[in-house]
Structure 1
Amino acid sequence: MSLYQHFRREEHAFVDQVLDWIETVRTEYRPKRTDFLDPRQQKIVRTILGTGDVLASFSGGAPDAERRRCLLYPDYFLPEVEDFDLAAFHVDYPLKFETVTHSQLLGSMMGIGLVREKFGDILISEEQVIQLLTCGDTADYVQQQLVQAGKVPLSLKRIPLDELLHKQEPETERTVTVSSLRLDVVLSEAFHLSRSKVKPLVQNEKAKVNWRPVTDPSMQLEEGDMLSLRGSGRVRLDRIEGETKRGKIRINIALIGG
């Protein structure tokens, strides 16, 4: 059976990249550090490695980090925190007079020329304390260039990793029945929206599957997929439990953050 059969077609390029990383570790017998990976990419790395001779560790600065850098290494190597080359920042801004959203900060970081893989989680507490993670090799650049989000002035202060906020999003589990595993059908059921409303949102890149924008409402989902719909939230498809007597599909989902 081909390795690629375990993954969606759009993931094959990343699978090739992982295979290249593994080959580098094997042939050069040295560690290989990646940029930040989303949870789906981390799962792909673990799946490909299996129980082979190349090992992997992940770190995003805190135990509950979502986006993490991966360190692939031979069995002689013992990873240390410093090997992940992470930089953490506290974001100062006029808190009493302004608010800064996750999307504003994300847009500003992309606006200074950073690709998404170069920074990790953006943490915002209920009290509007903001922290962010970057790769160490881009830290100085980010500190110099990230001076505003929208019209709000920003100032970044480097902080140790042990001062990072905890990212604990509540989850609400539900068991629902759907007519199919189409993306628009599951989103409609999860967020109590009509399919006629969900479909154009997906077509206009307002939805993501496993942290990647999608435009096909008929995309077939699988167990473990993380879905998001702009303005509604995130939901994870935990289990496909089988068909009901009426031919519908029973699934278990987890609403993230609510």
Structure 2
Amino acid sequence: MSIYQHFRPEEKEFIDQSHNIKEQVKNSYSPKLTDFLDPREQQIMIAIAGNDAEVKLEFFGGGEYAERKRALLYPDYFIPEKEDFQIVLFELIYPKKFIAMEHRQVLGTLMSLGLKREKFGDVLISGDSVQIVAAKEIENYLLANLDKVGKSAVSLKEQTIGKIIQAEEKWEEMITTVSSMRLDVVLSSLLNLSREKTKALIVSGKVKLNFKEEDNSSEECREGDILSVRGFGRCKILSIDGKTKKDKWRITAGRQK
């Protein structure tokens, strides 16, 4: 049975990368560190490497409730420390009396520096405090190049990882039934919207499936999928629990509060 059949075609490249990293650890008998992975990529990594007796796997993104994390794959002799994840935490220094920073504004600025998204972890905002989690290997580049967000001059101050903003995610669990696992049908049920409204959201580019924009209303949802809808938050398909007597799918999902 092929591992690919459990995932989407577009995930094949990451599956292959995960498998190659696992084999490198086994062959070299030394640890390997990935870039930051989103929750879906973490699930795939667990599926590929999580059950291999010769390779151990840990994730760390700076804090207990981090969403984006680096994965460390290592042989059984190795005892990982937090320092092995090569993560730095920065506080954004800016004129707080005059400016309110937004997540998309900060992330957009980071991306404009020419660095890959995979080199950044979470961008955390609590009140007027803004923190950026990044890979250690881009530390000097960030310090030298991040001097403005929008029209505001900014600077970075490195903080110890223990001072990270701890923003706990809260999910409200729900059980529902749907006539099919189509994206528009599932969203309609989870968000309590009409099919027409969910289709309009999808077509207009406001829906992400596993952190990638999805404009196909008929795309089939699967267990473990994370659905993000601009203006409505996130939903997660925790499990697909089979069919009812009326031939509908029963699913357990979480909706972010």
TM over 0.5: yes
Equivalent position of 2:107 in the other structure:
106
Distance 1:107 1:204 in 2: 20
Secondary structure at the counterpart of residue 218 of structure 1: coil
In the TM superposition, what is the alpha-carbon distance from 1:176 to its structure 2 partner? 2.3
AA partner of residue 203 (structure 1) = V
Q: Which runs of 5+ in 2 are unaligned?
A: none
TM-aligned CA distance change 1:104 to 1:120, over 3 Å: same
Indicate conservation of the 8 Å contact 1:86/1:135, yes or no: yes
CA deviation after TM superposition for structure 1 residue 59, in Å: 0.9
Distance, in Å, in 1 between the alignment partners of 2:40 and 2:238 is 14
State the AA in 1 paired with 2:64: P
Which residue in the other structure is 2:39 paired with?
39
State yes or no: 1:79 paired with 2:80.
yes
Q: Which amino acid aligns with 2:87?
A: L
1:153 is aligned to 153
CA distance in 2, matches of 1:143, 1:240: 46
1:149-188 superposed matches below 5 A: 149-188=149-188
Give, in angstroms, the shift of residue 132 of structure 1: 1.2
Q: CA deviation at 1:6?
A: 2.2
Is the CA contact (8 Å cut-off) linking 2:148 and 2:154 kept in structure 1?
Answer: yes
Q: Is the 8 A contact 2:30 2:74 kept in 1?
A: yes
| TM-score using structure 1 length | 0.93
Q: Which segment is superposed worse, 189-198 or 5-14?
A: 189-198
Aligned to 1:189: 189
SS at 2:224's partner residue?
A: coil
Q: Which amino acid aligns with 2:86?
A: D
Cα distance in 2 for partners of 1:96, 1:198 equals 39
| SS state at 2:106 partner | helix
Over 3 Å counting, the alpha-carbon distance change for 1:191 and 1:149 in structure 2 is farther
Cα shift at 1:154: 2.2
Contact 2:184 2:198 in 1 (8 A): yes
With the length of structure 2 as denominator, give the TM-score of the two structures.
0.93
Q: Is the 8 A contact 2:33 2:85 kept in 1?
A: yes
Residues 100 and 152 in structure 1, CA contact (< 8 A), matched pair in contact too = no
- The alpha carbon displacement at 1:235 in A equals 0.7
Partner of 2:144: 144
Q: Secondary structure at the match of 1:96?
A: coil
Call closer, same or farther: CA 1:152–1:169 in 2, change over 3 Å. Answer: farther
One-letter amino acid of the structure 1 residue matched with residue 18 of structure 2? V
Q: Which residue number in structure 2 is paired with residue 62 of structure 1?
A: 63
SS of 2:189's partner is: helix
Q: Secondary structure of the residue that 1:95 maps to in structure 2? A: coil
Structure 1 residues 7-26: aligned runs within 5 Å:
7-26=7-26
| 8 A Cα contact 1:174 1:253, kept in partner | yes
Q: After alignment, is 40-49 or 155-164 more displaced? A: 40-49
Which stretches in structure 1 are left out of the alignment for 5+ residues?
none
Q: Is the 8 A contact 2:202 2:217 kept in 1?
A: yes
Shift of 1:112: 0.9
Counting matched residue pairs gives 256
Amino acid corresponding to residue 120 of structure 1 in structure 2: G
Are 1:64 and 1:166, in contact at CA under 8 Å, matched by a contact in 2? yes
Give the fraction of aligned pairs with identical amino acids, expressed as a percent.
45
For the 8 Å contact 2:65–2:169, the answer to whether it is kept is no
Displacement of 1:172 after TM fit?
1.5
Cα displacement string for residues 109-133 of structure 1 (whole angstroms, at most 9, x for unaligned residues): 11111211000011111x2311110
Cα RMSD of the aligned pairs, angstroms, is 1.6
